[in-house]
Chains A and B, each alone.
Chain A
Amino acid sequence: MPETSGSPLPEPIPITLKINGSSHSIEVRPWSTLLDVLRDHIHLTDTKIGCDHGQCGACTILLNGQRINSCLSLAVMHNGDEITTIGGIADCENLHPLQQAFIKHDALQCGYCTPGQICSAIGLVSEGHAKSREDIRELMSGNLCRCGAYTNIVDAIEEVMRSESSTT
């Protein structure tokens, strides 16, 4: 049902987000999701929107090192938090091993889900639960890929996981 009248708009609240190492002080209304703030307010469009309902994982970012769906979190809840998007993964022009592996294994086609896939994979590796291809498949199942690059995505993640476990 439509609301009969517009209630007064909620007032903007000042917050500071630390995104990829840079501090952003902005005013946001409490209704803005972290995803909308990243894309529309700060114009960091490297994080993608695929459903806005936590059903596809395209908006996956790392919040204080943990992977989350940024569309399911309100920006005002994250004053002072460390946010890493795909744009903050590489060390300047040196790609992160997962970024390299995604290129090598052609773990992407249209590329739209890729930022979320890679952020999710970084989260997965640091969580340390995945021990097998089957685990990777299961624990990457929050990130949809409509182009169907799944087997290549698993190849890429598995390669990075193996090389990390052999060096540690």
Chain B
Amino acid sequence: MPTKHIGQPYDRSDARDKVLGRATYTAEHLVPDLLHGHVISSKIACGRITHLNTDHALKIPGVIAVLSHKTDFKTARFDLSYKDMDSPPGSPFRPFSTPEVKFAMQPIALVVAESTELARYAARLVEVTYEVDPHNTDLMGSLSESKAGKGLRAGVESPSNRGDFRAAYNKSEVQTSSDYLHPSQHHNPMEMHASIVHYHDEKSLTIYDKTQGVKNSQHYVTMAFGLRKKNVRVLSPFVGGAFGSGLRPQYQLFLATLAALELKRSVKVQLTRPQMFSFGHRPKTHQTVSLGASRDGKINAIFHHAVGETSRFEDYIENVATWAAKLYDAENVEQQYRIVPLDTYTPLDMRAPGGASGLYALECAMDELATELKMDPLDLRLKNYSEEDPSAGKPFSSKALKECFAQGSTRFGWDSRHQRTDTPYGKHRGSGMATGIWDALQFPTRAAATLASDLKLEIRIATADIGTGTYTIMKQIAAEELGLPTESVDAKLGDTDFPFAFIQGGSATAASVGSAVRKACRKVQKQLLKEAGKMKNSPFQHADIDDVVFEDGLLKRKDDPQMQTSLKQIFADRDIDQIDKKCTWTPNLLKQRKYSMNTHSAVFVEVEVDADVGFVSVERVVVAVAAGRILNPKTARSQILGGVVWGISMALHEESYMDNSLGRFINHDFANYHIPVNADIKDIEVIFVEEDDTVVNPLGVKGLGEIGLVGVPAAVANAVFDATGKRVRELPITPDKLFAEP
């Protein structure tokens, strides 16, 4: 395949707009006569509203309405109408449907006013009294109440078992078993969730929504409010980060739509930063990993048991305990995953859902086994390396993990790494490593391509670019296919008027959207060739698409490149203005079913721990990634850098602290919810080990959004152990835990 554009480190195509402040995010679209809504959040975790007095608020000039469960409004009756593309099994939360409170910070009223300040002020004048029911938000106190997480979700599989773990473990020469815990975390994209509903009439709306899938928001709004899809257009051209928070329509969309329809006015609702802690989150998860091995390091028994939280109304499930069976060739594997319903909002996929959690525990356990065996942790991974996917009994479509180990360890200097010094004071260096694995997912996707006679090409898909570089790779792929400069290509997305794409998540977008772009452009190619064949004395009369190439605005015969015509000439000769093509791309399931498709990574981390104050600094990270073909090394590298920062954050910083007496996450702002700042992040080196994968899709692309993150938390934790000799099995690794007596 030619690579004039694909694989080139182009600058991010929307970067210019972004550095000029011209990229327009959701809350920034200009809509005339706009009202502003401010959400009032429940102060209790469980119970019901007994009294809600809006009199004082409504007396303020400029305050238009206060909507709540007391408002008489008509929306769909059945739960099914509130399901979205990412709903777990259960009954979706329906704002204002009853006075019942099911979780802390539940939206209980919306104050609508002429300005944000007025709405915010008036919200303080609304009096709410509650009848309080007892709540339970304590996962650790409720492990015995766990149940199997059932039901179907895209990309989620049941943990698999093989052999007889217990018998094999009991017979093992070396046994290790430990429990691991990580807290709930919230996505917290920098842009807070917002929706603007531009009211045209009671049947038609234009909506700007912060979402990872405009089609999902459109589906939700039309189903819940009984509107028709052709009358509800949803746009989201720029998304200020999401990391999963925009996979489901959040409640501000429902509230803004409700207010617009009730008041027959255009309404904006933007959540506050504290309210960004009032919906989905990565579930707190407790895990046990037991490993049984022979003295030489051959693992023959693996047990991975995970218990995560969910809400009372939906069963959120993710792939926590599925990875060991895929990564290692042990003959006896038992994996379990269970959930505990609590009085919280339903968890929500957050960057590398399940993988970040499960691999943290599994890869720390591997390190503990290596310590027990007095074996190099890298050698332990190599000893138990599986070329095939033993959980599925299939080969991988490609797996260059061994090469990742080799290149990553060399670059890091793993063999000559710093040795621990056993002094109780001062600064200690330590090194750790871990393996990462993620699925190479993809979903059916549609695309439209229009090539005009001036050779301007427009590509349209209703996907999202949440900072991942989707705009950029769409242009590169289209330019490659039609032999045009990338400047001639306009990529458009984030608009329900465009062809269908599934929600942007699971590292599936580059593969899915990219393949759809390629297919649509190939249809344009075929049409161009057909038209060229009809030109006078055409050398392309009987040419097949495989006999020609598109390069530099020209159509050429492969066997004789001198036989060529300019694309412009085709348009002129044939007297056509433009070529429009649409397509539906679907993964080749027949071919793929014989394979497991995954990305892999090897992560090497060096930390410095100040033993006097318990402060951990990640000095150096080398991550080697095998994720098929890299479409753009510059934006791809950035994706991995971001994943590594997330991994460091999970290991050392992030925690949504649940106060079980209040039933509420109490550190709900950026002062108290810690994410890394610039000073926390030092050297990160990214290595791509490219794979030539002809199974995943014609582009050979596997996706990068999560693989940069998954191995990092364990690698950091293992490095902290190497530096200190202290194994902290609860994230984040904070000074208090490093100082705690075992």
Contacts and interface: CB of A to CB of B under 8 A. Distances in A.
A17 interface: no
Given A2-B124, A9-B61, A108 B19 contact: yes
Contacts of B641: 148-149, 151-152
A91 B333 CA distance: 63
A112 B191 CA distance: 6
Contacts of B466: 110
Contacts of B273: 50-53, 55-56
B33 to A, nearest CB: 14
Contact of A48 (B60, B191, B642): B191
A53 B670 contact: yes
Contact of B19 (A6, A103, A147): A103
A86 interface: yes
Interface in A32-68: 32, 36, 39-40, 43, 45-53, 55-56, 58
A160 interface: no
B90 interface: no
Given A95-B19, A151-B683, A52 B272 contact: yes
A95 B116 CA distance: 33
B15 A141 contact: no
A111 B127 contact: no
A80 interface: no
B467 interface: yes
A46 to B, nearest CB: 3
Interface in A95-123: 95, 99, 102-104, 106, 108-115, 118
Contacts of A51: 273, 669-670
A78 interface: no
B468 interface: yes
B638 interface: yes
Interface in B91-133: 115-118, 121-122, 124-128
Interface string A108-148: 11111111001000000000000000001110111111111
Interface stretch (B165-173, B215-223, B602-610, B673-681): B673-681
A148 B11 contact: no
A76 interface: no
B117 A6 contact: no
Nearest to A136: B678
Contacts of B238: 110-111
Contact of A146 (B116, B124, B190): B190
B21 A47 contact: yes
Interface in B368-427: none
A36 B36 CA distance: 13
Contacts of B24: 45
A110 B240 contact: yes
A107 to B, nearest CB: 9
B681 A151 contact: yes
Contacts of A36: 116-117
Contacts, number: 197
A136 B389 CA distance: 45
B630 to A, nearest CB: 14
Contacts of B36: 40
A112 B19 contact: no
Q: Bin chain B's interface residue count.
A: 35 or more
Contacts of A106: 11-12, 15, 634-635, 637-638
A16 B127 CA distance: 38
Nearest to A93: B20
**Secondary structure type dominating chain A contacts:** loop
A30 to B, nearest CB: 10
A168 interface: no
A4 interface: yes
Contacts of A111: 14-15, 17-19, 23, 238, 240, 467
A51 B643 CA distance: 23
A137 B681 contact: yes
Nearest to B59: A6
Interface string B632-671: 0011011101111110000000000000000000000111
B279 interface: no
Contacts of A18: none
Nearest to B238: A111
B681 A110 contact: no
A148 B15 contact: no
A43 B116 CA distance: 13
Nearest to A157: B678
Most buried by B among A2, A39, A118: A2
A154 interface: yes
Given A49-B192, A86-B19, A111-B18, A141 B61 contact: no
Nearest to B116: A40
A5 interface: yes
Nearest to A108: B18
Interface string A9-30: 1000000000000000000010
B44 interface: no
Interface string B612-648: 0000000000000000000000110111011111100
B241 interface: yes
Given A43-B30, A110-B467, A146-B188, A104 B11 contact: yes
B302 interface: no
Interface in B452-490: 466-469
B150 interface: no
A140 B678 contact: yes
Nearest to B273: A51
Contact of B241 (A29, A52, A146, A151): A146
A53 B25 CA distance: 20
B196 to A, nearest CB: 12
Contacts of B644: 148
Given A45-B28, A106-B12, A108-B15, A147 B642 contact: yes
B122 A6 contact: yes
Given A106-B637, A146-B243, A86 B467 contact: no
CB-based closest 8 A-B pairs: A46-B21, A148-B645, A112-B240, A110-B467, A111-B18, A109-B467, A148-B642, A45-B28
26 contacts: A4-B56, A5-B56, A6-B60, A40-B116, A46-B20, A46-B21, A48-B191, A51-B670, A58-B190, A95-B19, A102-B15, A103-B11, A110-B190, A110-B238, A110-B242, A111-B15, A111-B23, A111-B467, A112-B189, A137-B682, A144-B675, A146-B241, A147-B241, A148-B641, A148-B644, A149-B641
Interface of B: 11-12, 14-25, 27-28, 30, 36, 56-57, 59-61, 115-118, 121-122, 124-128, 188-192, 238-243, 270, 272-273, 466-469, 634-635, 637-639, 641-646, 669-671, 675-679, 681-684
Interface of A: 2-6, 9, 29, 31-32, 36, 39-40, 43, 45-53, 55-56, 58, 85-87, 90, 95, 99, 102-104, 106, 108-115, 118, 136-138, 140-154
Given A137-B681, A141-B677, A144-B670, 4 more contacts: A4-B56, A49-B192, A87-B20, A144-B190
